[in-house]
Homo-oligomer: A and B are copies of this chain.
Amino acid sequence: MDRQTPTLSDVARRAGVSYATADRVINNRGGVAEKSVRRVRAAIEDLGYVRNVAAANLAQKRTYRFAFVIPEGPNSFFRRLRNILETARPEMLVSRVALMVESVAAFDAAALVGCLERLAEDKVDGVALVGTDDARVCAAIDALRAQGMAVLTLVADVQGARPDGYVGIDNTIAGRTAGRLLLLAHGDRGGRVLPIVGVATAHDHAERLAGMQDTLAEAGGRVTSAPLIEGRDRHDIVEAELHRRLAEDPEITAIYSAGAGNAGLVRVLARRAEGRPIVVLHELVAHSRQALETGLVDVVIDQRPEDEIQTALECLRAMADRRDLAAPAPIVPAIYLRENLPPAAEASQFGDPVHE
């Protein structure tokens, strides 16, 4: 019925060269005349040859080794990220991908660089790292790439660095999305939004904040932004500050939290006797999820780390296979209400694998 897919031998025959030459071409081994290269390329085109990755991997006894470098610490988002990776690990094994998850101190550029250098020696095939803005990190990334390994930034890009790609959301878009939700929830009434960020200098939080404010402004300014709280991503600080500000400023109609430390925010809300402001926050983690379920919070904007990791893995594999992958679809923030929450991920599931 359907004739089978062509092999490299078919290509060689069609191009009128030997298998060895065709092999030299597709594997860039060099030492091939320009004329032959062109003929092989043409034959590939004609026959629609597609390299059989399975066979190639088999011959190379290849197992992909990918490292994910994730900040450590109590931050629940990164815990979630690590969880997803751990869950994916056994499934990845089937396709011969060994996942390494490295933890480094958060915001510690030196530690991150050290980790990257170890990975460079370790000869992994690809690295995905959560970026920290720092010149040394840029240099380390360049060094890895120069060594021929694939490097992605994940969740947070590194300004100035040139990785093979960035997998994560655009924080301006995330902030604008929050702004639009706030506008929607205010209807045609006016309002006053209290923004909470980690620190105003972190470029991701700053981008979210600006995106939110721009969107409010573009809508005519009936909803305005109050002075922000810097919660340093710590729930105790967020709790204290927020408590104070809400008492101080009764005009607040909404809260937008661009960063972490939302457990403190939830505590303040839970204590309120009556009517609460509209609340929009980021990242679906245990406490934000629960707050959504109990109605303490209206909306959670999530960057869907599952998607990010899947996309990252796809990119890393494509690069390791020397395939050209169409640039991955940018990851767009997801909006969760209590009604469309994804099923809670198990902490870890050890279903016994069945081999048969």
Interface of A with B (CB < 8 Å)? Answer: 2, 4-5, 25-26, 28, 41, 44, 49-55, 57-58, 61, 63, 91, 93-96, 98, 173-174, 176-177, 179-181, 184-187, 189, 215, 278, 298-299, 306, 322-326, 329-330, 332-343, 349, 351, 353-356
Contacts and interface: CB of A to CB of B under 8 A. Distances in A.
B356 A26 contact: yes
Given A50-B94, A55-B58, A187-B187, A215 B177 contact: no
Chain A contact residues: helix, strand, loop or mixed: loop
Given A26-B356, A91-B326, 14 more contacts: A5-B96, A50-B355, A54-B54, A58-B58, A173-B340, A176-B340, A177-B339, A177-B340, A180-B338, A184-B184, A184-B337, A185-B185, A187-B187, A324-B353
A232 to B, nearest CB: 27
A27 to B, nearest CB: 8
A332 B336 CA distance: 10
Contact of A189 (B181, B187, B299, B330): B187
A152 B123 CA distance: 41
B51 A177 contact: no
B55 A173 contact: no
Pairs of residues from A and B, 10 with the lowest C-beta to C-beta distance, nearest first? A54-B54, A335-B335, A176-B339, A177-B340, A177-B339, A180-B337, A180-B339, A332-B342, A324-B354, A55-B58
A25 B356 CA distance: 7
